[in-house]
Structure 1
Amino acid sequence: MDAVALSRRAAAEFVGTALLVAVVVGSGIMAARLSPGDVGLRLLENSTTTAFGLAVIILMVGPVSGAHLNPVVSVADWWLGRRAGTGLTARDLAVYVPAQVAGAIAGSVLANLMFDLAAVDWSGTDRATSRLWLGEVVATAGLVLLIFALARSGRAAVAPAAVGGYIGAAYWFTSSTSFANPAVTVGRAFTDTFAGIAPGSVPGFVGAQLVGLVVGLGALAMLYPRAGVGVEQVVVPQLSEGR
């Protein structure tokens, strides 16, 4: 996974995750302002924007870093590829995850500033309940299974649309509205808006997402025993250095 310099890949993960959180938070703010009396419509506006935005961001930065944009995806990529010598190395993982978390925070700050809010405004939205944690387990496990099933079956080219579509749908079929991403969860604590999550709720969500990672990897082992073979295609194939 060293075809493109690690510094470039880390920059792509930072920028991509920042844009993703800016899309999630910014569309949530806009939805709240345009549809103040209708929570369902606000969720529809937020989820639709996120689904399309995520697909576009994957297309934008995917050729550089693979567009993981999510520590869960990066950890799974490293875990599945470690024996076959494919996917992320431990050094790559140690760079990807901080870049994703920093990008998520930057994206939340950017969205706040674009809508004339305080750069950092800790969320007061409490999401610390067991039903929401279960929703995060389901959302994260499904995301892991989808991404690595596409890579293993040679269908990584459709990942932007498939991942965007899955996240858009999971907004509606999970009780948690599908954060499914520890970095995004941390970033969303920095905004007291429609998409926010109280800092005290972050550990529970991240813990549930890690459980979802394990469940997703277990499902992969059952359905795709050699899933590690295709991890260099996650989320999408990358360019070679110099291009």
Structure 2
Amino acid sequence: MDLSRKLLAEGLGTALLLAVVIGSGIMGERLSGGNVAIALLANTLATVGGLYVLIEVMGPVSGAHFNPAVSAVMAFRGELPRAELLPYVAAQLVGAMLGAWLAHLMFELPVLQVSAKLRTGTGQWVAEAVATAGLLLVILRAPPGRVAAMVAAYIGAAYWFTASTSFANPAAVFGRLFSDSFAGISPQSAPGFVAAELVGAAVALAIHARLAPAAPRGLRA
């Protein structure tokens, strides 16, 4: 597969994922009448549906990583050529930023923003490590043809059982920096989230190596 096509799929897929996450957060907050639980539920449902569709559509082209932690694990395992790792990450980061801007355009908000929403503390860092470890285990061990559904379902659950609402994705952290909205995260909170996500990815690799062999590999998210 031509690298330029893979990078287009990763960039476009990540942009659309962030547009879904941020846009549904804005819509949920507007329509919920101040009820944060309803806003989070709307955000969750939109993310689950959008993520499933994007993985199905982009998976045959690039693997549908949309996530530097996933790409790093795949490169470590030899499932992504290591020379393609940095281009993948760059495409994901640029796509995440563009997705935030697209969400703002759709809701007629100022395009250029920086989030002021603080997300910090031991609980949230542990939550991000758990969320990312779980995501990578699902990806590494899902049966053939079921990755999209299982990843979407896991992320939907992790929105609610983790204290951080499960970013589980350094590109998502980066994109949300540029949105002072329901889904945003402040620049001072971002490093802790990214560090926790990378720890979670390493933990997932260690757990995967200790478990029984996974089912035969199918399409990876």
Please indicate the TM-score interval, normalised by the length of the shorter structure. over 0.9
TM-score of the superposed pair, with normalisation by structure 1: 0.88
1:225 Cα deviation after fit = 5.5
Q: Hey, what does 1:176 align to over in structure 2?
A: 164
Q: 1:99 aligns with which of 91, 98, 105?
A: 91
1:59 Cα deviation after fit = 1.1
Q: Secondary structure at the match of 2:205?
A: helix
Contact (CA 8 Å) 1:101, 1:187: kept in 2 or not? yes
2:63 is the alignment partner of 1:74: no
Q: Hey, what does 1:15 align to over in structure 2?
A: 12
Q: Hey, what does 1:218 align to over in structure 2?
A: 206
Q: Hey, what does 1:185 align to over in structure 2?
A: 173
Contact (CA 8 Å) 2:118, 2:186: kept in 1 or not? yes
- Rounded Cα–Cα distance in structure 1 between residues aligned with 2:212 and 2:5: 31
Q: Secondary structure at the match of 2:188?
A: helix
- Rounded Cα–Cα distance in structure 1 between residues aligned with 2:183 and 2:175: 10
1:177 Cα deviation after fit = 0.2
Aligned length: 221
Identity among equivalent pairs (%): 51
Q: Alpha-carbon deviations, 1:56-87, whole Å to 9, x = none?
A: 11111111001011011111111112xxxxx1
1:233 Cα deviation after fit = 3.5
Contact (CA 8 Å) 2:96, 2:174: kept in 1 or not? yes
Amino acid in the other structure paired with 2:101: V
2:20 is the alignment partner of 1:34: no
- Rounded Cα–Cα distance in structure 2 between residues aligned with 1:226 and 1:63: 21
2:69 is the alignment partner of 1:44: no
Q: 1:62 aligns with which of 59, 62, 77?
A: 59
Q: Secondary structure at the match of 2:48?
A: helix
Q: Alpha-carbon deviations, 1:202-233, whole Å to 9, x = none?
A: 11100000000111111101114689x84x84
- Rounded Cα–Cα distance in structure 2 between residues aligned with 1:29 and 1:217: 35
CA RMSD of aligned residues (A): 1.4
2:110 is the alignment partner of 1:118: yes
Contact (CA 8 Å) 1:188, 1:197: kept in 2 or not? yes
Q: Alpha-carbon deviations, 1:74-127, whole Å to 9, x = none?
A: 11111112xxxxx11111112111000110000001001111111121111000
- Rounded Cα–Cα distance in structure 2 between residues aligned with 1:48 and 1:233: 23
Q: Alpha-carbon deviations, 1:163-194, whole Å to 9, x = none?
A: 11100110000000000000011000100000
Amino acid in the other structure paired with 2:41: L
- Rounded Cα–Cα distance in structure 1 between residues aligned with 2:169 and 2:212: 23
Q: Secondary structure at the match of 2:99?
A: helix
Contact (CA 8 Å) 2:68, 2:170: kept in 1 or not? yes
1:156 Cα deviation after fit = 3.1
Report runs of 4+ in structure 1 exceeding 6 Å deviation. Answer: none
Which blocks of at least 5 consecutive residues in structure 1 are unaligned?
Answer: 82-86, 236-243
Q: Secondary structure at the match of 2:197?
A: helix
- Rounded Cα–Cα distance in structure 1 between residues aligned with 2:191 and 2:133: 18
